[in-house]
Amino acid sequence: MAYTPAENRYQQTVYRRVGRSGLMLPAISLGLWHNFGGTSVYENARAILLRAFDLGITHFDLANNYGPPPGSAEITFGRVLANDLRPYRDEIIISTKAGYRMWPGPYGEFGSRKYLLASLDQSLKRLGVDYVDIFYSHRYDPDTPLEETMGALASAVHSGKALYVGISNYGPEQTREAARILKEMGVHCLINQPRYSMLDRTHEKNGLFETLSELGIGSIVFSPLAQGLLSDRYLNGIPQDSRAAKNVFLKERDITPEKLEVVRKLREIALSRGQSLSQMALSWVLREGFATSALIGVSSVEQLEENLAAVHNLSFTEEELKLIDEVVS
């Protein structure tokens, strides 16, 4: 049966301007890091993607190595785009990245011009599109001149293979220099994608958000739920199907009694706000002055719907912020 999106989809969420640009992103965007690769059930991935679009999620975030196996998340998204979403391509923001290892040898990772532009061409083929909306340098490369890395991003824009470019995992000074170089090449650095959550406030403290505001660059944060730790998922043990049980990024050893006590206290604050813990965690990173958008990864439609409900309560009282600070300090 042919897919028809919900008519009221643009009344379902909140959109925010990305820095000093003309682009708007949904406050919550969908990341395809896990659960959309070749080892996942295609019908489930399709159901999540289409439900997300029905709920106003227009931004789908990928990278060349997302899967598993690497590259397969782009293939899955490309298949859904071809079969269901192609008529709505102009309503969709597709982003992808290159920086982490994708293929063997010296040209398969980091920030060289050869790697970045070859990777972009491969991503376009897997996605089945002529261009992506945002192309990122996925990580800073200390061994490649930043002029080369940013020059590759600028070439992606000038060639029409990307409409905008961004950077991910770049610190404040790296961001400032990258933006300067791109500006000299006639390209604006649209967005930075850092890790940020109530349990990881590194970029709040090192001045990154202030730097982005000064330069007119937006931000989209990943791991706002600390790999699921900022949810109810681990409060009663470690589920067998969880990331911690599989020791994927979040390790069992990371879930200590001390951290769980912090999570329980945060959950109490969330419940007093009429939110689940995961909803409050998303609202918190989206509070005024911080992230433009927050990336979520989900494994079911139900999880998607719960997380997206966070946009209905994005404000905090001074007392609530103070309580959160006391718990996580």
pLDDT tens digits, 216-236 = 999 999 999 998 999 988 776
pLDDT of 241 above 70: no
Question: Which are the contacts of 273, defined by CB distance < 8 A and separation ≥ 6?
Answer: 280, 313, 320
Average pLDDT of the residues in 48-73: 98
Helix (H) or strand (E) holding 165: strand 162-168
Evaluate if residue 120 carries a pLDDT over 70.
yes
Average pLDDT, whole number, for the chain? 95
Q: What value does the CA radius of gyration of the chain take, rounded to a whole number of Å?
A: 19
Residue 35 CB partners (closer than 8 Å, separation 6+): 44, 45, 48, 297, 298, 299
Q: How far is CA 113 from CA 79, 98, 117, 175, in A?
A: 28, 11, 6, 18
Q: Amino acid letter at 87?
A: P
The domain ranges of the chain are 9-225+277-316
Q: Where are the alpha helices (DSSP H) in the chain?
A: 42-54, 72-80, 113-127, 146-158, 172-184, 202-205, 208-215, 243-246, 257-272, 277-285, 301-308, 318-328
Which token pair is 102? 């994708």
Q: pLDDT-derived band of residue 253, with 50, 70 and 90 as boundaries?
A: confident
Q: Residue 178 contacts by C-beta under 8 Å, 6 or more apart in sequence?
A: 137, 146, 149, 150, 167, 170, 189
Q: Which CATH architecture has domain 9-225+277-316?
A: Alpha-Beta Barrel (3.20)
The pLDDT assigned to 243 comes to 57
Residue 285 has pLDDT above 70, yes or no: yes
- In this prediction, residue 72 carries a pLDDT of 98
- Per-residue burial over 129-149, b if 16 or more Cβ lie within 10 Å, else e, is bebbbbbbbbbbbeebebeeb
Q: What is the structure's pLDDT at 1?
A: 79
CA 100 – CA 138 distance, rounded (Å): 7
CA distance 45 to 3: 15
Q: What percent of the chain has pLDDT over 90?
A: 90
pLDDT of 236 reads: 65
Statement: residue 126 has pLDDT above 50: yes
Q: Rounded distance, CA 291 to CA 314, Å?
A: 12
β-partners of residue 191 are 166, 218
Q: Whose CA is closest to 74, among 90, 62, 92? A: 62
pLDDT for the residue numbered 235: 77
pTM, whole model, 2 decimals?
A: 0.95
Give the model's confidence band at 245: pLDDT under 50 very low, under 70 low, under 90 confident, else very high.
very low
pLDDT at 257: 86
Taking 80 as the threshold, does the pLDDT of residue 122 lie above it?
A: yes
Mind listing the pLDDT tens digit for each residue in 174-213?
Answer: 999 999 999 999 999 999 999 999 999 999 999 999 999 9
Which one, of 201, 190, 145, lies nearest residue 168 by Cα? Answer: 190
Average the pLDDT over 260-285 and give the result.
97
Q: Is pLDDT at 256 greater than 90 in this prediction?
A: no
Tokens 């643009």 belong to 10
pLDDT at 251: 65
| Digit-coded pLDDT (tens) for 151-170 | 999 999 999 999 999 999 99
Contact 263, 235 (CB under 8 A): yes
Residue 20, token pair as written in the block: 């000093």
Whole-number pLDDT of residue 11 = 97
Residue-wise pLDDT for 18-36, tens only, equals 999 999 999 999 999 999 9
Across 52-77, average pLDDT: 98
